[in-house]
Chain A
Amino acid sequence: MKRYAIPRLMTKLLLPLILLFALYVQFHGDFGAGGGFQAGVIFGAGFILYALIFGLDSAQKLMPHWLLRIGVPLGVLIYASVGIAGLLMGGNYLDYGALDPHNPPHGHHLGILLIELGVGITVSSVMVTIFYAFAGRGR
């Protein structure tokens, strides 16, 4: 793929847009259609596209293995700790309302945002990890 100018150029043009769109889907999730799952997949797909065009090595420079290793459990931990935070504030597990006792809707916003962030991190790391695992196998 290294020799073809058009795919490389298009990727360079598209990649920031894809990542930006992923972030939009991520953070707009509590008002409209979207959320962590979708955003994570879009984000991961952006990286996979990059790896396809510029080769696995340069992609791994951009998104090294150790980062993914941390990313996968980190997202789940964010999710769980938001749940436990609700527990500590006196509500039930995953009780968003308890996050901000004076203003439950605000607590809901905060809770959803953090949860979706956790989901997004995990999903995108998992997607890229799966891709690396398969692509790195034959060598």
Chain B
Amino acid sequence: MSAPLSFLFRPGRAAWLFATATCWLTLLMAILLLRQVLAEGPISYPMGSWPVPWGIEYRVDILNAYMLVLVAAISAVVMSFAQLIVERRIRLPEHKQPWFYTAYLLCMTGLLGITITGDAFNVFVFLEISSLSSYVLISIGRDRRALTAAYQYLIMGTIGATFILISIGLMYVMTGTLNMADLAARLPAVAHTRTIHAAFAFLTVGVGLKLALFPLHLWLPNAYAYAPSVVTAFLAATATKVAIYVLLRFFFTIFGPQFSFETMPLDLILLPLALIGVFSASLVAIFQDNIKRMLAYSSVAQIGYMILGISFVSVTGLTASISHLFNHALMKGTLFMALGCVSFRIGSTQLERMAGLGQSMPWTMGAFVIGGLSLIGVPLTAGFISKWYLILGALEKGWWPVAVLILLTSLMAVIYIWRVVEVAYFKPAPEGQIVREAPLALLIPTWTLALANLYFGLETSFNAGVARQAAEMLLGVAP
């Protein structure tokens, strides 16, 4: 996981090749790691051979091995996609292209680091590494509004990170340890103190800012809409997912479900927030004219679904959340990459400019439709699996109004995806506009993800099966 090497390459192409190779290699390692964890249980790796509660420990169990595979897979596919976009669309000068790849790899390192580490403070450090580089990536967008979007994200993100820092500090005061497993063992003794309650609150708000939980999501639509499409695909598919992982890790492993949901009435707070988030974000998404912005709002809605799953505090609900993490990464990756192809050819993602694209760019729009169907949750696509578990979880709790709302918001997703499909397939192309299909270098990665959507919709042992094991582990139920 050494990013700086790519910095040494002067011409853009060599740096890209190197970065892509790194990404695929990381993916390979992540898959091997997951297999080993599934076979043998958690792996612990002390950095520098310092004994565990004092030194920094890297700890891999089912949940984060799963997340590692996700992050590595998405970044590998998106990286393969990046080169043409960086060269032609963002039009970085030749000598600045290595900077882009460096920032990208740093961001990936940060995200992988957050998932793999077993040390609470290390989470903060890696969080900042990944967010600092993501600010850079967003500000590369050619629109000048990308700058203000990145600035807003920087302010919000830093406040969030500082809140997390305060919370880790407070926990350290009370327990004298930073190791996650150690924290989990020592927290119950001091769980009744107000310091820990404050730490919990700071943490929830801080991570909430990072993952764009409903009332704290204001930075997200702008940041996604004005960033280059490669960056949007990467961030949408990984950054918020990792933040949700942090939330899961802290709520369930460190504080323990009992404290999080019985002492602190967290589920009662998360549930309405998630529902309002899903509902309002879907509603706003329907009225957007810029498709990137529309998908950004739909991301906020999807995050709402994941939080909803968490707030059920049941194995089914958590399975839904964790598998939705994975599936949403797949579908949003597909959608944003298809949009990347579109903007590569027509230079815009405005809805009215897309008229007639169904005929002129059939493969790109095909991938978009698959991603869209998956987003809606049509059977045979990956999105269906997690929606199914989510509704099951709601019914298990006897909260049928929630289940109805989930179905209703899926219908709203139908509306906003349909608007795009309608324009692209049924409106005639404007006179004299000649659009060619996107080049193969862009199509192949896009279709890899699109097919993955279909594959994981049929073969559920990986996403739902592993997610279920992870959920059982988090809740402490014997598998």
Direct A/B contact, Cβ within 8 angstroms: yes
Could you tell me which A residues sit within 8 Å of B by CB distance?
69-70, 72-73, 76-77, 80, 86, 91-98
- Chain B residue with minimal CB distance to A92? B49
Roughly how many angstroms separate A70 CA and B48 CA in the complex, as a whole number? 27
| Residue from A73, A80, A94, A96 within 8 A of B8 (CB atoms) | A73
Q: Are B47 and A77 in contact (CB under 8 A)?
A: no
Give the most central of B2, B7, B48: most A CB within 10 Å.
B48
16 of the cross-chain contacts (CB-CB < 8 Å) are A69-B7, A70-B8, A72-B4, A73-B4, A73-B7, A76-B4, A77-B4, A77-B5, A91-B49, A92-B45, A92-B48, A93-B45, A93-B48, A94-B48, A96-B48, A97-B49
| Chain A nearest CB, measured from B127 CB (Å) | 19
Additional A-B contact list (9), CB under 8 Å, known A92-B47, A92-B49, A98-B49: A73-B4, A76-B4, A80-B2, A86-B48, A91-B49, A92-B46, A93-B47, A95-B49, A97-B49
Roughly how many angstroms separate A92 CA and B8 CA in the complex, as a whole number? 27
3 nearest A-B pairs in the assembled complex, by CB-CB distance: A73-B4, A94-B48, A73-B7
Residues of chain B contacted by A96 (CB below 8 angstroms): 48
Roughly how many angstroms separate A94 CA and B7 CA in the complex, as a whole number? 23
| Chain A nearest CB, measured from B115 CB (Å) | 17
Q: Contacts A72-B7, A73-B7, A73-B8 known; A94 to B2 CB distance under 8 Å?
A: no
Roughly how many angstroms separate A76 CA and B7 CA in the complex, as a whole number? 11
- Chain B residue with minimal CB distance to A96? B48
- Chain A residue with minimal CB distance to B1? A80
Roughly how many angstroms separate A85 CA and B25 CA in the complex, as a whole number? 20
In the complex, chain B residues 239-262 whose Cβ is within 8 Å of any chain A Cβ: none
- Chain B residue with minimal CB distance to A76? B4
Give the number of residue pairs across the A-B interface with Cβ within 8 Å.
Answer: 32
Chain B residues touching A, majority SS = helix
In the complex, chain B residues 3-37 whose Cβ is within 8 Å of any chain A Cβ: 4-5, 7-8
Residues of chain B contacted by A73 (CB below 8 angstroms): 4-5, 7-8
In the complex, chain B residues 420-475 whose Cβ is within 8 Å of any chain A Cβ: none
Q: Are A94 and B47 in contact (CB under 8 A)?
A: yes
- Chain A residue with minimal CB distance to B102? A73
Roughly how many angstroms separate A138 CA and B473 CA in the complex, as a whole number? 56
Q: Are B48 and A95 in contact (CB under 8 A)?
A: yes
Residues of chain A contacted by B2 (CB below 8 angstroms): 76-77, 80
Residues of chain B contacted by A92 (CB below 8 angstroms): 45-49
| Chain A nearest CB, measured from B56 CB (Å) | 9
Residues of chain A contacted by B7 (CB below 8 angstroms): 69, 72-73
Residues of chain A contacted by B46 (CB below 8 angstroms): 92
Roughly how many angstroms separate A70 CA and B8 CA in the complex, as a whole number? 7
- Chain B residue with minimal CB distance to A81? B2
Residues of chain B contacted by A80 (CB below 8 angstroms): 2, 4
Residues of chain A contacted by B4 (CB below 8 angstroms): 72-73, 76-77, 80
| Chain B nearest CB, measured from A8 CB (Å) | 35
Roughly how many angstroms separate A95 CA and B46 CA in the complex, as a whole number? 9
| Chain B nearest CB, measured from A100 CB (Å) | 14
| Chain A nearest CB, measured from B22 CB (Å) | 13
- Chain A residue with minimal CB distance to B7? A73
| Chain B nearest CB, measured from A75 CB (Å) | 9
| Chain A nearest CB, measured from B108 CB (Å) | 15
Residues of chain A contacted by B48 (CB below 8 angstroms): 86, 92-96
- Chain B residue with minimal CB distance to A80? B2
Roughly how many angstroms separate A73 CA and B9 CA in the complex, as a whole number? 11
| Chain A nearest CB, measured from B117 CB (Å) | 13
- Chain B residue with minimal CB distance to A93? B47
Roughly how many angstroms separate A3 CA and B2 CA in the complex, as a whole number? 47
Residues of chain A contacted by B47 (CB below 8 angstroms): 92-94
- Chain B residue with minimal CB distance to A86? B48
| Chain A nearest CB, measured from B54 CB (Å) | 14
Roughly how many angstroms separate A77 CA and B47 CA in the complex, as a whole number? 17
Roughly how many angstroms separate A73 CA and B4 CA in the complex, as a whole number? 5
- Chain A residue with minimal CB distance to B48? A94
| Chain A nearest CB, measured from B34 CB (Å) | 20
In the complex, chain B residues 35-51 whose Cβ is within 8 Å of any chain A Cβ: 45-49
Roughly how many angstroms separate A94 CA and B2 CA in the complex, as a whole number? 14
Roughly how many angstroms separate A93 CA and B55 CA in the complex, as a whole number? 12
| Chain A nearest CB, measured from B47 CB (Å) | 5
Q: B338-381 vs A: 1/0 string, CB under 8 Å?
A: 00000000000000000000000000000000000000000000
- Chain A residue with minimal CB distance to B45? A92
- Chain A residue with minimal CB distance to B10? A69
Roughly how many angstroms separate A40 CA and B163 CA in the complex, as a whole number? 29
Residues of chain B contacted by A76 (CB below 8 angstroms): 2, 4
In the complex, chain B residues 119-164 whose Cβ is within 8 Å of any chain A Cβ: none
Residues of chain A contacted by B45 (CB below 8 angstroms): 92-93
Roughly how many angstroms separate A49 CA and B47 CA in the complex, as a whole number? 38
- Chain A residue with minimal CB distance to B46? A92
Residues of chain B contacted by A95 (CB below 8 angstroms): 48-49
| Chain A nearest CB, measured from B459 CB (Å) | 35
Residues of chain A contacted by B49 (CB below 8 angstroms): 91-92, 95, 97-98
Roughly how many angstroms separate A76 CA and B47 CA in the complex, as a whole number? 17
Roughly how many angstroms separate A49 CA and B413 CA in the complex, as a whole number? 58
| Chain A nearest CB, measured from B48 CB (Å) | 4
Residues of chain B contacted by A86 (CB below 8 angstroms): 48
Give the most central of A72, A73, A91, A97: most B CB within 10 Å.
A73
Roughly how many angstroms separate A21 CA and B8 CA in the complex, as a whole number? 30
- Chain B residue with minimal CB distance to A104? B49
Residues of chain B contacted by A94 (CB below 8 angstroms): 47-48
